[in-house]
Structure 1
């Protein structure tokens, strides 16, 4: 009974210590606001919320509690000598760092900032601080760097595992501005975990340990008590060239590599404690290198979530939607619906309306192979079957994906309008859009020529050429014309000059249609080639 009573007393003390720690509530609120902001951003970008942020919060908080319990058990064997003032200092530093970047709200970054304060205090005399500052300064000067570094290494290993397992499920689709200024699809992998760590703090009159921790074994004989150290771990990366699963695996592997180096330094710091300070800064620099190397890699590679010439490229699939039940994945391509090839969300909707109760789909997987799917359609289901396609050229984009900080959590996500599609762009998916401007000596409407040629038989026969099918409209010489590959149009719509006969046949050869004529070969009065200006003797 006595053992059971002590166990219940310890468990009750663990729960009470967590409920009375304000920084843990601050970190919980930050996670809740972050995933709420993700839902708002998805609505503004795609007019629908892809994920339910309440479920994400529960998974994040549950994983953080589990990691905190495991890290606390390991630290009871390692041992850490800290003071309550230091717990508040570390929590405050994490909050301050989150004001600059959310990914800086990390235990190892807070320890790096604390080490700077620690080194500055070495050059300040002891008598300079009095009052309430005195216990804070003493707590910083008596910091157990070896114990805190060991805790940071444990959480660094936990971050590598959690990022591999949970980051793909916590990712969110976004539309960003690509290198050419047009919207492209991407995924943000913003994964943060609030972790409460219960530490054994030496205290006179506390309960006695049946074992002796490795570190500072001489201070545990007087008794110990529990102190909760709430911390944050996690990182934020963006990918537009990889699947979220692939990106999470790459980042997790790099975190594992840095963890191995930090573990070696932590073991060496047990014999020589200054190595703990060096290991903290190595961990910070390595984490920053991982983030910046990921950005450089994304800038060098081709985007994956862009328009496809064979159909509609899928950016994301809403969980629990018909598309999710059919096994459709992101980065696949919707090719046909009910036997009709689709190239836009409007054409997909029109094809699905041909049979409102049933759909037959042909989807191209990531390797370009076809897979055929069919399913009944029920009332109230998503009009696109739960698929979110890559953004159009006039879609709204976000510019805050790389620079999230705590103030972003307190306001609505900002979006901006993308570059609108040009009205002269060819809509056929297989035609490459090329636009430029060139001067032309004389530009004539060939349809108008065809009508005049029917009344004046012989004009085209004398020239030996047949009229061109391209539409070329203008009424004056040296008019700039907007060209598109495969067709030529003009922006000039002025009325023709009175009493001017411009019925001249248009020259077209077997090669690509020519629009402009060199000035050296043109006649000065009409601007047309001399060989094509025939006289109608009739």
Structure 2
């Protein structure tokens, strides 16, 4: 029991985990700062970044460790030292792009590339020998992280897409949306006995059982897509990577010499997927752009009267309490006509008209929960 507590304690002081906590808090305050700069308010003050970091980390600990116990996962410990260094870089860049799978691919490919060029080195990051099942175990780990990444993209609540205004080419303002989530979770792995012991470990029957921190993240930038559709597409891509990694793992088990080719193939697919995400967004039919036809909804604060009206980002408010509105000032002036109730005439992206109504805060009708261009 003491060893278990000691091992968990070692995990909690790992640089990757500590940086993950710091980046989680930093991402939260960065989101609030950007929203206040763009809209003078924080759209959602809920610290869901921290909740996801802990909740998903515990979930991945359970399912990931079950998977590694079933396969009795073994890889040289030096690979994980190299992975920790690369994952730290990926985590520092998580607010711009997702490189979590790249950290593992590059860690696995490095010793293979050195072998090809007959470069010999002895340090804590490069193993001197690789086990026969090196490729298959590496691909299984990639597949596991890709499946966890697909699970993260199931968190598809639109209010978690943080809007940011930029100037369009024709003088009108455009809103882009950014979504990110990540966690650093402990994964139980089996290692051959080795003098290296900086990671948390438990010794049993000559086998070292390590608890290693792993990074899983997902990022979406959209300008023209529906948030739920963008995440669905991203989820499908992660599942493709997981399936391809499992296939390559099976091939590598019988043909170990194909491991480096398989890693290069996965890297190429990841690059292609990043290109396709950008292309799909460009080809989408929506533009979250400022309009003179009415008032465009940029975001909706959760648990407010606007949220109860089932409004969606991108909807255009044409009338409020029977008055036509073309600016946010006109909208809030119309709200004063009935400070206890709000009736809206709204047009969606498909051009369909709908009516929405709800009771509002009688003492603060301006806090209906709509976020507009302003």
Give the alignment's TM-score, normalised by structure 2: 0.85
**Deviating runs (4+, > 6 A) in structure 1?**
none
Q: Distance in 1 between matches of 2:35 and 2:75?
A: 43
SS in 2 for 1:93: helix
- 1:302-321 to 2 correspondence within 5 Å? 302-308=285-291, 310-321=293-304
2:362 is matched with 378
1:344 is matched with 327
- 1:48-127 to 2 correspondence within 5 Å? 48-52=41-45, 54-98=47-91, 102-112=96-106, 114-116=108-110, 118-120=112-114, 122-124=116-118, 126=120
Question: In the TM superposition, what is the alpha-carbon distance from 1:138 to its structure 2 partner?
Answer: 5.0
Q: Distance in 2 between matches of 1:35 and 1:85?
A: 33
Q: Distance in 2 between matches of 1:106 and 1:118?
A: 20
Q: Is the 8 A contact 1:237 1:291 kept in 2?
A: no
- 1:323-402 to 2 correspondence within 5 Å? 323-367=306-350, 368-380=352-364, 383=366, 385-389=368-372, 391=373
Q: Is the 8 A contact 1:336 1:362 kept in 2?
A: yes
Q: Which runs of 5+ in 1 are unaligned?
A: 1-7, 209-222, 393-538
SS in 1 for 2:28: helix
1:206 is matched with 203
SS in 1 for 2:203: strand
Where relative contact order (Cα < 8 A, 6+ residues apart) is larger, the structure is 2
Does 1:142 pair with 2:135? no
SS in 1 for 2:258: helix
SS in 1 for 2:186: strand
2:23 is matched with 30
Q: Is the 8 A contact 2:321 2:335 kept in 1?
A: yes
Q: Is the 8 A contact 2:304 2:369 kept in 1?
A: yes
Change (3 A) 1:191 1:302: same
Q: Is the 8 A contact 1:201 1:226 kept in 2?
A: yes
Q: Distance in 1 between matches of 2:329 and 2:157?
A: 33
Does 1:227 pair with 2:224? no
Q: Distance in 2 between matches of 1:234 and 1:323?
A: 31
Which string of whole-angstrom CA distances, capped at 9 and with x for unpartnered residues, describes residues 490-532 of structure 1?
xxxxxxxxxxxxxxxxxxxxxxxxxxxxxxxxxxxxxxxxxxx
Q: Which runs of 5+ in 2 are unaligned?
A: 195-201
Q: Distance in 2 between matches of 1:365 and 1:299?
A: 20
Q: Is the 8 A contact 1:170 1:191 kept in 2?
A: no
Q: Is the 8 A contact 1:311 1:342 kept in 2?
A: yes
2:197 is matched with none
Name the count of aligned residue pairs. Answer: 363
Change (3 A) 1:258 1:138: closer
SS in 1 for 2:342: strand
SS in 2 for 1:237: strand
Does 1:288 pair with 2:271? yes
Question: In the TM superposition, what is the alpha-carbon distance from 1:46 to its structure 2 partner?
Answer: 0.9
Instruction: Look at both structures and tell me which one has the larger radius of gyration over its CA atoms.
Output: 1
- 1:229-248 to 2 correspondence within 5 Å? 229-248=212-231
Q: Distance in 2 between matches of 1:10 and 1:167?
A: 41
Q: Quick check: which one's helix share is greater?
A: 2
Q: Is the 8 A contact 1:197 1:230 kept in 2?
A: yes
2:248 is matched with 265
Question: In the TM superposition, what is the alpha-carbon distance from 1:39 to its structure 2 partner?
Answer: 1.5
Q: Distance in 2 between matches of 1:175 and 1:85?
A: 45
SS in 1 for 2:185: strand
